[in-house]
């Protein structure tokens, strides 16, 4: 039998806390201490891999038959570690790798859990500060015991909108063009560098909305549920759910106008 989402969330929270401790400790010990090679990227990869391996081992110990999709195990087809149950875990061991690299205290472990292909629970934990957002489908989104409800802003012109940029140069150029043309229509733009936390900040109303193109499932699975459970609408361009084309998270009153602008600006093309 498949456990209730609340039970799966308990496992997720425990695994995410341990993973966050490892990420934080490795950062505090100095990234050079965890580097296997001399380059900057390798340093982060070493921490990423160590955290992912630990979390996957913990998940496999708790739930041996479940599938796991993570950055290290992911591939273009979205294949990961196969499992024989109805449950799949979706893990980003360190979301915000550039912040991590620079020691900016804003990076997260993101862990979501699906049953039969639907995300039913998720946790995002800022590994540097301990801030932790959780959600259970149908059970609301919470931080520190407080239920989250998103922003009450209804005017896009007064909305603070978070976004992010991918690593691919052509995509970045396209994303910069969209920001350039969107900014006259919003209060301002924020780029914090952690997609999963951006979604949680939108769930808290600390930003009014968030959008980004080109995200991987592990970037938005947990934070997306937190946003949905806070009452936000989370969807892509086509209305078939958030995906690599676009993830938009906004309160219902802002979703329509933001979607309209992004559909128009994205139509200019770009990867």
Site for ligand IPD contains 194 (CB under 6 A):
yes
Rule CB under 6 A: is residue 224 a binding residue for ligand IPD? Answer: no
Q: Does 242 bind ligand IPD (CB under 6 A)?
A: no
Interatomic CA distance for residues 148 and 141, integer angstroms: 6
Judge whether 26 and 34 are in contact, CB under 8 Å: yes
Per-residue interface string for the shown chain with ligand IPD, residues 121-160, x marking contact by CB under 6 A: ----------------------------------------
**70: contact with ligand IPD by CB under 6 A:** no
Q: Within a 10 A sphere around the Cβ of 271, how many other Cβ atoms?
A: 14
| Pick 137 or 190: Cβ nearer ligand IPD | 190
CB 35 within 8 A of CB 42: yes
CA dist 226 and 223 (Å) reads 5
Binding string, residues 84-123; x marks residues near ligand IPD by CB under 6 A: --------x--xxx--------------------------
Nearest distance from C-beta of residue 215 to ligand IPD, angstroms:
6
- Of 217 and 228, which has the nearer Cβ to ligand IPD? 217
DSSP 34: G
Q: Any idea what DSSP says for residue 77?
A: T
How many angstroms separate the CA atoms of 265 and 261, rounded? Answer: 6
- Our CB check for ligand IPD shows the closer of 48 and 115 to be 48
Close Cβ partners of 1 (under 8 Å, ≥ 6 residues apart)? none
Query: Where on the chain is the footprint of ligand IPD (CB under 6 A)?
Result: 92, 95-97, 164-166, 193-195, 212, 215, 219
């Amino acid at each position: 039998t498949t456990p209730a989402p609340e039970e799966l969330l308990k496992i997720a929270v425990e695994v995410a806390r341990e993973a966050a401790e490892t990420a934080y400790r490795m950062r505090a010990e100095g990234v050079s201490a965890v580097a296997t090679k001399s380059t900057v990227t390798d340093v982060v990869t070493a921490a990423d891999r160590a955290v992912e391996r630990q979390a996957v081992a913990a998940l496999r110990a708790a739930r041996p038959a479940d599938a796991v999709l993570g950055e290290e195990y992911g591939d273009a087809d979205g294949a990961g570690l196969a499992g024989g149950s109805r449950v799949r875990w979706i893990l980003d061991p360190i979301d915000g790798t550039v912040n991590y690299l620079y020691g900016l205290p804003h990076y997260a472990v993101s862990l979501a859990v699906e049953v039969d292909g639907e995300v039913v629970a998720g946790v995002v934990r800022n590994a540097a500060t301990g801030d932790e957002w959780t959600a259970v489908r149908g059970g609301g989104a919470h931080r520190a015991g407080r239920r989250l409800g998103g922003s009450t802003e209804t005017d896009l012109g007064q909305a603070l909108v978070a976004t992010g940029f991918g690593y691919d140069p052509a995509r970045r150029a396209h994303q910069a063009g969209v920001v350039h043309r969107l900014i006259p229509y919003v209060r301002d733009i924020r780029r914090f560098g952690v997609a999963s936390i951006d979604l949680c900040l939108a769930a808290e109303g600390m930003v009014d909305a968030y959008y980004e193109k080109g995200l991987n499932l592990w970037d938005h699975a947990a934070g997306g549920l937190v946003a949905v459970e806070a009452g936000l609408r989370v969807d892509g361009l086509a209305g078939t759910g958030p995906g690599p084309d676009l993830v938009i998270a906004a309160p219902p009153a802002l979703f329509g106008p933001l979607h309209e602008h992004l559909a128009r600006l994205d139509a200019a093309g770009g990867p």
